[in-house]
Amino acid sequence: MGLAFGVTDHMKRMFLSGLAVFIAWTLIDTLVHRLLLQALYESTPAIWRPLAELDSVLIVAVTVFLIAVFITAYKALVRPKSLTCGLTLGALMGLALGASAGFGTYIHSPIPLVLAWCWFGLGTIKGLIAGVILGLLIVEERNG
């Protein structure tokens, strides 16, 4: 049944799944980039912006955009809505995003090959995590 202002339970689940993915991705990115990969970044300082020059608004905007694409793809293309199907979509999108971020950057920028592999793995893991979240929270709407 609809809630105030026409907000349905399904809409709430979509919003909550997006928020959960945002939180998960932010925590993972912070852990990986600020701790685990820090030595790799420090070994090539000439190709990176200083931390103070990173555009936080752009980072959030791009993250929200990617999550919106992920949720839209799940909503529009995945049948049935399930954990297995969420994982499948997450794996495919994660592999695509990881390949693009890791090896796409390696093609054009002088990053270490190990960093390209790390970004590829990170993209894949983030896709799988998003797939799990969507598969658990966005389920088929029941009629009747």
3 domain residue, yes or no? no
- What is the pLDDT of the chain when averaged over all its residues? 94
Residue 141: its pLDDT value, please? 66
* Percent above pLDDT 70 for the chain: 94
- pTM for this structure? 0.90
Is 131 in contact with 82 (CB distance < 8 Å)? Answer: no
2 domain residue, yes or no? no
Residue 1: its pLDDT value, please? 47
- The whole domain housing 25 covers 11-43+59-137
Which DSSP letter does residue 32 get? I
Residue 3 has pLDDT above 70, yes or no: no
CA angle (26, 27, 30) in 5-degree steps: 85
Residue with tokens 């600020």: 34
Helices (H) then strands (E): counts for the chain? 5, 0
Residue 10: its pLDDT value, please? 86
143 domain residue, yes or no? no
CA angle (5, 10, 11) in 5-degree steps: 50
Q: Give the number of domains in the chain.
A: 1
64 domain residue, yes or no? yes
- Using CB atoms within 10 Å of the CB of residue 32, give its burial: 0 to 12 exposed, 13 to 18 middle, 19+ buried: middle
Q: How many CB atoms lie within 10 A of CB 94?
A: 24
142 domain residue, yes or no? no
52 domain residue, yes or no? no
Residue 143: its pLDDT value, please? 56
